[in-house]
Structure formats: structure tokens, C-alpha cells
Amino acid sequence: MHEIHAALGGELLGDPALVIHRIAAIGQADAHAITFIANPRYRAQIESTAAGCVIVAPALAEAAAQRGAAIVTPDPYHHYARLTQWWAARLRSAVPTGVHASAVIGAGVTLGDGVTVGPLAVIEAGAVIGPGATVGAQSYIGAGVVVGAHTRLAPHVTLMHGTTIGARGIVHGGVVVGADGFGFAPHQGRWDKIEQLGGVHIGDDVEIGANTCIDRGALGDTVIGNGVKLDNLIQVGHNVHIGEHSAMAGCVGIAGSAKIGRGCTVGGGAIVLGHLELADGVHISAASVVMRSITRPGQYSGVFPIDDNASWEKNAATLRQLHTLRDRLRGLEKKIDTP
Amino acid sequence: MHEIHAALGGELLGDPALVIHRIAAIGQADAHAITFIANPRYRAQIESTAAGCVIVAPALAEAAAQRGAAIVTPDPYHHYARLTQWWAARLRSAVPTGVHASAVIGAGVTLGDGVTVGPLAVIEAGAVIGPGATVGAQSYIGAGVVVGAHTRLAPHVTLMHGTTIGARGIVHGGVVVGADGFGFAPHQGRWDKIEQLGGVHIGDDVEIGANTCIDRGALGDTVIGNGVKLDNLIQVGHNVHIGEHSAMAGCVGIAGSAKIGRGCTVGGGAIVLGHLELADGVHISAASVVMRSITRPGQYSGVFPIDDNASWEKNAATLRQLHTLRDRLRGLEKKIDTP
Amino acid sequence: MHEIHAALGGELLGDPALVIHRIAAIGQADAHAITFIANPRYRAQIESTAAGCVIVAPALAEAAAQRGAAIVTPDPYHHYARLTQWWAARLRSAVPTGVHASAVIGAGVTLGDGVTVGPLAVIEAGAVIGPGATVGAQSYIGAGVVVGAHTRLAPHVTLMHGTTIGARGIVHGGVVVGADGFGFAPHQGRWDKIEQLGGVHIGDDVEIGANTCIDRGALGDTVIGNGVKLDNLIQVGHNVHIGEHSAMAGCVGIAGSAKIGRGCTVGGGAIVLGHLELADGVHISAASVVMRSITRPGQYSGVFPIDDNASWEKNAATLRQLHTLRDRLRGLEKKIDTP
């Protein structure tokens, strides 16, 4: 407890000598676990939890202290986030740094201080890996790629030439950055390739989920702003711009040249068509399809409501005649209004 | 024929000395092929097929025997499945086992009897690979990962530390298990990372399709039950639980902390939102979006019916005024009922 | 300029000695850039651009020549595509060919003239790599796979045994070709695997985007026709056939045994269910779901229109009673017509 409190602050109520072995959800916590209550609605759980220590807001301080140790802080969820970071950093510090002997490092590669390169990684000529950065096992870093300080690439990451990523980023396994965008000129019934000559520019503090793809630009760059968070299996097309601190959940697709504002969120499985803009602060619900630009902040949705299959079939069949229904309704209104 | 019959049983009608070179669909079968009829509707094809042998149900035994060899069994589709398994196992037995000299094996790794490790695979410290298991070329097995007996990992699989997978599993190329879940605390306009400290627990007899992702839990584990089958490019979020013998088709997304029952199926491209439950035996149609818990077994759907583009445009435009239409209809009803 | 004109033709107006350093979009072009105008609507930009040279159609030749160099050609977009190809080929020619010492090459592998094999690639026994082809770093080529002449595989590509790909193809990072299709026979509450014994046959001039998956056939092959273009994160199920010169955008899912015609397009995120056919020249809009065969060419759509969340909620709730609304409308019509 003492060590956690010294690292993260807050007001400690109870015994600083309490030994904490794990972080746990409030329902799974035992006497050596620390947990948190982010939502005052869950205050009843304070009495039932077996947790050694609970992180709470000031309003719950008294209730928490009556049952054991507590850390009091204005934003318990943020305090919990920082606790997980401190915990993970402690675990990571046990992993040795250095370049594994089996890695293949090209000519003129620059490795900063404290860089870790995993087994069987490939770093092509002229790449620059910032201090404290990690290149995971079997990852591929293309020629001239720049990786910022303390950025961590998992195993099996692919950064093609023309990619730069800033500091403190996290890139998960299977991510492909800088593959060709999807550009073809139709010509005599065939598709003529437009070679993709741009790159990808990724800011600081960006996290990219497993198997997500970010294509290189056709001429200019694809640009991912500082603090953007992308979940798994997301497709980001060529020349997309994503504004700072926007976040997207899994399976989202952003088509080429779309421009997403700052502080936006896109729910899982949503699709944003190409060449359109979302203003700052636009929030797209999961599985919705954005087919036109959205110029005002707010929440937007468009999903067919799920139902038991028989009801859906009837409603879907009727939906295919919806325009006719509207005309019939209009006809009735006319008849009644002009008797 | 003799060898197949000896291995798989059923009642053999016709010449046991018939030589079988391939398994084929009934329309492509020749005199050295074995095929099957799973559906009595297709009985007419018995007469036209050139197949050397047909697997049939008892009701079709006589018709099948009149034209050549037949295997009679109560469930021909299941018999066919077992035949493919026997066939594939025979092909696989030609592949040599052992650890390729180019693989990188960490300290304290345990390799069971008959393990195969492909070229340029990486197995980190303390991992345990069960007897008869295969680690494909260029795959990555994180520290302390446990792989069950006879489980087969294709090339380019990534199992991060904290992953366990049971016996007889099949994991296809590009799968990433144990990447961080998508967890952030919003804080002053930024996203503060919640480090993902849980693991992934996968049961026995689980198959995972190419480029599918299963995230590690935030605190507890993500859990995949025995016998679960996942197709390609599926996203399984942190702390999801999938019940035994459930199956999901390609491109499905399951958001964090969703709890899927036993014996469920989810059609391709469907999305299940987070923190909700599907009861046992729930079947979600392809491309449907589950936005609330479903407590009763059955088939559920929610898809906008496709139409020629002009019709769709008219109906979609009317749909955006649907609530108004309802009000107008109600208005008319009032007028008529109160003349 | 002189060099570009000599390679690509067209009518050159202006100074052949002009030095071109880059290709740029018309708004970003400077005096050493070449750009293009594909659409006559943008002719106003001819006057404002700083581009050293503009590729234009004959109708704009005079206007373009008044402000600097121009190349006049009947199809400027196609000319631009060819220019990017010439530019990219020039850059690629600087990359050395040959087999990297760290690659693992199996017995009986055939490498054509001028083949490049990147570091830590694995090529299994009996594979055939055509002349001028490239196998990217850390890629996996299964036993007996055939790669056509001048086909380029990016790093981290997986081609499983039973795959053939024709000439001049491009396969991006993380692609998995030849993983098992999703085939199971339900048996006593479990899923019994149907081993996937077919292969994948890919024609000439096919491009496959990052992390896309193409499954092997169950018995016959999965077939991708000549000139097909697939974007990123696409799922192509077992025994799918895609006709020549069809193109699909990112995140599309094509379920097993679907048959897509020639010259079709499928928009991003669309889903095509299994065992159905699309005729030649069918165009599916983004995020639409094809649930039945389509026999006539044309554009087809089916997407719930996005709206602000409150409007969507009201319309979606009404949609769940749509069939009832229709019945009420019919009731009113009867009342009015039979007074």
C-alpha cells in the first residue's frame, strides 16, 4: 500500500503496511487486492467487497474507511488507470533490453539508448528507432521508418517504408501500416493501378489495435493525430486524417480521404465513406454508416433494430414498400380533408 | 475402399477393392472418387454421378447400390466429416516433427513428446507446449503461454503472454491472442490507458480462423469455452465469455465484457455490443446488431433489406420520416373514428 | 519532363527541360511537380495551381499551355496512373534482388531468374517462385505453392500449401491465403470438423490488400479471377468464385460458395451471404447485405440511413411496428372506400 500511495498520491485512509498482491474488480477482490468504485451507484458494493483497499471519491470516503483501507481521490477511475499503468510498468521493467542476436538490422539503422529489438525482427536500412523504444519479435520495420521514443511495437508488426510514428505509442500484433491504398483507374474494363507514393504520419501517444491496417497516402500522407486510439481490425484508407484524441472501436472502416475531427468517437463496426468530413466532437454509434459529412457535434446513429426473426421478416418486407405506404397515407389524407 | 471402411465403419455395399483417390462433391466425382448425399432432396443425383462410391442414409441405400459402391450410415454428413478428418490426418502424418534449427526457444520452455516447431518460430521463456502440438513457422509464443496436447498453430500465429489454449485446438495464420483490450479512462480531453492485466483462457477443441483477434482481459480473463469455432477476421473484446460449442462466422465483432451462451451461432458481420448477455441457444443472423441482452433462445435478425438503388433511396428517405408517418396515421384514425 | 514524356507519351506542350521532382495533387503542387486534371469541372484550378506541368484532356490544352508545361492526352486519369507506375518502378529498381542469407528455403524449391527473397522468409519444399517475383521479409510460402512471374509479396504474407497465384500480382502485408474454410457438421451438440482439402487458385494481375483472408476450398478450389482487386481486411470464404476484374473495398465479407460475376464492385463493409450468385456487372453499395442472388446488373443498396441519435431512436422504434402500421393503413383505406 505504502509503495502504491507514494507513487500515485491521493489521501490514504487505513494501514500503509497492508500488502497488495493484485488489482481486481470489486466483485473478485480479496484481502490482498486493491479495487475501485468509479460510479456512486455502486456504493452498496463497498459493504460487501472483501477488497483490502478501495479507491473512492470523497463522497464515499467515510463508508470506505469503515470497512478497511481506502484511497480518496477526486476521479477514482483515472486513479485506477494510473494504478494499472504503474503496475504494468513494474512488470515490464523485468524484461531485458538490447538487440536479440537473431534480429536482422540493415545498414545505417539508428538505435536510441535502451532500445529493445526482439528475436527475428527485421529493421531495414536507414530506420531510426528512438530511445527506450521496443521492436517486437518478428516485426518488420521498413527502410527509413522513424519510431519515436518509448514507443512499443508488439511481435508481428509491419511498418512499411514511409511510416513515421511518434513517442509513447503502442502498436499491437499483426498491425500493417503503410500498405498501398486502394487506388485504380478504370481503363477498358480493367483496373489500372495508381501507385501509392505517399506515406503515413502517426503522432505521439497513439495506440493501434491488433491486425488494424493504416494505408499509405496516394500522393500526400495519411495522418493520425496525437493521442488517437484505434482498436483491433480497423481499416484506415489512404489519405484519411484523424484528429487528435479521437477513438475508434473494433472493426471500423474509414474509406479513403475521409477527414475525422478532434475528439470524435466511432463505435464498433461503423463505416465512414470516403471524401467526407466529421466535425470535432462527432460521435458515431456502433455499426452505423456515415454517407455524408457531419458538420455539427453530437451522437449519430443508423442501425436496423434487431428483433425475433419472424417480426424482422415482416417489417423488412413492409420496409421495401415504405415509399408506397407514404403515398397511400397521403392519398387518404387528401380524401379525408376534401370530402 | 477397404481401408476407408475399416477406419470409419458404416455398411459397405459393393467392391471393397475399389481404389479411391479423392473425395469430391457429387457433381465433380469420377470413378475413383468417394462422395456423399446428406440431403434426401438430392437423391436424383445418385443416378447421374460418376462417383466410385457414395455415402448415403439407409433410405437411399438401394438406389445407391444399384449404380456402384456405397457406404450406408445414419448420418452421411457426419460420416463425410470423419472421412475428411481421416484423409487429412493421413496427409499430415507425412510431415516430419521436431524443432527446426532456426527457431528461437527461450529459457525454461517445456516441449512435450512429438512436438513440431517450424522454422523461425519464437517461443519465449517458460512456455509449455503439450505433446503432439505444432507451432507453425514464424509463430510467436509469449512467455509462460500454455498450448495443449495436439493443438496445431499455423504459421504467423501470435499468442501473447497470459494465454492458455487447451487440447486439439486449431489456430490459423495471423491470429493474435492476448493483445491489449481497448480500455481508456477519459481525462481532460485525452484517453488515459487502463493497462490490461488479465489473460486469455481458451478451452479444448477450439478453432480460431485467420487474422481473428482475441484480446486479453482488463483484470480477469477473456474466456473461450470448449468446442467454440471462430471463423476469420473476428474481433473478441476483453473479458468476453463465449459458451461451449458456440460458433461465429467471419467478420463478427463482440465488444468487451459481452457474455455469449452455450450453443449460440453468430452470422457473418454481426456486431454484439459490450456488457450484455446472450442466453444459450441464441442465433444471430448475419450482419445483425445486438444492442440489448437476449434472454430467450431463438433466431434474431436486423438487416436493412437490399434493393435496387433507386428503390432503396426512396424508402430510406421515407424511413427518416417514419415517426412522422406514424403520427399522421394516428391523426387520420382519430378523424375517422370521431366523425 | 523529357524522360517522363519519352516513357509515357501524350502531346508535350512547353519546355522538355523542365525538372520534375514529384507527383502532387493539384492543390499541393509546386514548380517542380507534375499534376493532373481528370475532371473538366476542376478546370478553374488550372489557373491557380503552381504545378510545373499539368496532364490534361484536349479540351483543356489551351488553358493549360498558357500557364506552363502540359501533357495532353485523351484520358488524363489513366495517364496519371501510368505515371505513378513508371515512378514507382524507378524507385523499386534501386532495391537489390537475390535471396537473403537468413531466409529458410526448403528442398526442391524453384526460384526463377531475378527473384528477391527478403530476410527471414520461409519457402517450404517444392514451391515455385516465378522470374522477377519478390517474397517479402518474414513471409511464409507453403509446400508446393506457385507464385507467378513478377508477383510481389510484401513482408508477413502467408500463402498456405495448395495456393497458386499468377503473374504480376501484388499481395500486401498480413494476407493469409489458404487457411481452412469454416466447415463443420453439427453432431450431438458439437461441431465436427470437415477438413478443408481444396486449394486456392488466384489469376494474373490480382491485388490483395493488407490482412485480407482467402480460405482454401472444402473439396474444390476457391477461385479469384484475373485482374481482381481486393482491399484490406476482406474475408473470402471457401469455394467462393470471383469473376475477372471485379473489385471489393475494405472490410467486405463474402461467405462460402458465393459466386461473384465479372466486373462487379462491392463497397466497403458489405456482406454477401453464402451459396448465392451475383451476375456480371452487379455493384453493391457500401455496408449493404446481399441475402439473395442478384441476376441483373445494376447498383444495389440496403443501409439504414444515419440520423441524429434522437431521431434514429424514434424511427427505429416505429420500424419495429412497421407491419402493424401497414395493417392500420389498410384498415383505414377499407373504412373510407366502403362508407
| C239 conformational bin, left if phi > 0, alpha if psi -120 to 50, beta if neither | left
Interface of A with C in 257-296 (CB under 8 A): 269, 271, 273, 284-285, 288-291
Q: Does A32 touch chain B (CB under 8 A)?
A: no
Q: What are phi and psi of B89, to 5 degrees?
A: -65, -35
DSSP secondary structure of A209-248:
-TT-EEPPPSSS-EEE-TT-EE-TT-EE-TT-EE-TT-EE
Q: Above 90 in pLDDT, residue B231? A: yes
Q: Does C299 touch chain B (CB under 8 A)?
A: yes
- Helix intervals (H) in A50-107: 61-67, 76-92
pLDDT of residue C39: 83
Asked whether the beta carbons of residue C219 and residue B28 sit closer than 8 angstroms, the reply is yes
DSSP letter, residue B59: G
Interface of C with B in 70-89 (CB under 8 A): none
Asked whether the beta carbons of residue A328 and residue C329 sit closer than 8 angstroms, the reply is yes
Nearest to B129 by CA among B120, B114, B80, A260: B114
Distance (Å) from the alpha carbon of A265 to chain C's nearest alpha carbon: 14
Q: Above 70 in pLDDT, residue B199? A: yes
pLDDT of residue B38: 84
Subunits next to A (3 or more Cβ pairs <8 Å) are: B, C
Residue B107 to residues A97, B104, C284, Cα–Cα distance (Å) = 16, 10, 53
Among A122, A197, A298, the residue with its CB nearest the CB of C84 is: A197
Asked whether the beta carbons of residue C308 and residue A329 sit closer than 8 angstroms, the reply is no
Distance (Å) from the alpha carbon of C80 to chain B's nearest alpha carbon: 31
All three cell numbers of B116: 513440431
Q: Above 80 in pLDDT, residue B95? A: no
All three cell numbers of B71: 457406404
Nearest to B123 by CA among C139, B107, B132: B107
CA angle B207, B212, B214 (to 5 degrees): 85
Q: Which of the four pLDDT bands, split at 50, 70 and 90, describes residue B339?
A: low
Give B68 or B228, the one with higher predicted confidence: B228
All three cell numbers of A99: 538487440
Distance (Å) from the alpha carbon of C202 to chain A's nearest alpha carbon: 16
Burial of C40 (0-12, 13-18, 19+ CB in 10 A): exposed
DSSP letter, residue A294: B
pLDDT of residue C339: 56
pLDDT tens digits along A136-178: 999 999 999 999 999 999 999 999 999 999 999 999 999 999 9
Asked if residues B105 and B88 have their Cβ atoms less than 8 Å apart, the reply is no
Architecture in CATH for domain C98-300 = 3 Solenoid (2.160)
pLDDT tens digits along C242-297: 999 999 999 999 999 999 999 999 999 999 999 999 999 999 999 999 999 999 99
* Strand positions, DSSP E, B259-333: 259-260, 265-266, 271-272, 277-278, 282-284, 289-290, 298-301, 307-308
Which whole number is the average pLDDT over C78-102? 90
Cell 487457411: give the residue.
C179
Provide CATH 3.40.1390.10 ranges for chain A: 2-92
Burial of B272 (0-12, 13-18, 19+ CB in 10 A): buried
- Residues of A3-42 as b/e, b for ≥16 C-beta within 10 angstroms? ebeeebebebbbeeebebeebbbbeebeeebbbbbbeeee
Interface of A with C in 217-236 (CB under 8 A): 219-220, 233, 235
All three cell numbers of B111: 516441449
Which whole number is the average pLDDT over B232-238? 98
What is the rounded CA–CA span in Å between residue B28 and residue B20? 14
Q: Which of the four pLDDT bands, split at 50, 70 and 90, describes residue B96?
A: confident
Q: Does C324 touch chain B (CB under 8 A)?
A: no
pLDDT of residue A92: 83
Interface of C with A in 181-200 (CB under 8 A): none
Provide CATH 2.160.10.10 ranges for chain A: 101-300
Percent with pLDDT over 70 in chain C: 99
Q: Does B309 touch chain C (CB under 8 A)?
A: yes
Q: What are phi and psi of A79, to 5 degrees?
A: -65, -40
Q: Is this complex's ipTM strictly greater than 0.90?
A: yes
What topology is assigned to B2-92 in CATH? 3.40.1390
What is the rounded CA–CA span in Å between residue C40 and residue B280? 59
pLDDT of residue A96: 73
Interface of B with A in 93-112 (CB under 8 A): 104
Mapped to the 3 state alphabet, what secondary structure does A109-167 carry?
Answer: CEECCCCEECCCCEECCCCEECCCCEECCCCEECCCCEECCCCEECCCCEECCCEEECC
Name the residue of chain A whose CA is nearest to B288's CA: A306
Q: What residues contact A269, with CB distance under 8 A and at least 6 apart?
A: A249, A250, A251, A252, A286, A287, B253, B269, B271, B289, C269
All three cell numbers of A45: 458494493
pLDDT of residue B243: 98
Nearest to B220 by CA among B175, B259, B188, B267: B259
pLDDT tens across the length of chain A (339 residues):
889 999 999 999 999 999 999 999 998 999 999 999 988 788 888 888 999 999 999 999 999 988 889 999 999 999 999 999 999 998 887 777 899 999 999 999 999 999 999 999 999 999 999 999 999 999 999 999 999 999 999 999 999 999 999 999 999 999 999 999 999 999 999 999 999 999 999 999 999 999 999 999 999 999 999 999 999 999 999 999 999 999 999 999 999 999 999 999 999 999 999 999 999 999 999 999 999 999 999 999 999 999 999 999 999 999 999 999 999 999 998 888 765
What is the rounded CA–CA span in Å between residue C104 and residue C119? 9
Residues of A with a known catalytic role: 238
pLDDT tens digits along C207-239: 999 999 999 999 999 999 999 999 999 999 999
Residues of chain C neighbouring B88 (CB-CB closer than 8 A): 195, 197
Q: Above 70 in pLDDT, residue B299? A: yes
pLDDT tens digits along B135-156: 999 999 999 999 999 999 999 9
Which whole number is the average pLDDT over B176-197? 96
Percent with pLDDT over 70 in chain A: 99
Cell 384498415: give the residue.
C331
Q: How far is CA A2 from the centre of its chain?
A: 33
Which whole number is the average pLDDT over B70-86? 95
Please determine, looking at this structure, whether the domain spanning A101-300 carries the CATH number 3.30.9.10.
Answer: no
Among C138, C174, C336, the residue with its CB nearest the CB of A174 is: C174
Q: Which of C231, C235, C271, C329 to mutate to test the interface with A (most CBs of A within 10 A)?
A: C231
Containing H/E element for A172?
none
Architecture in CATH for domain B103-300 = 3 Solenoid (2.160)
Subunits next to C (3 or more Cβ pairs <8 Å) are: A, B
What is the rounded CA–CA span in Å between residue A118 and residue A106? 15
pLDDT of residue B91: 84
Q: Which of B75, B213, B232, B329 to mutate to test the interface with C (most CBs of C within 10 A)?
A: B232
pLDDT of residue B33: 95
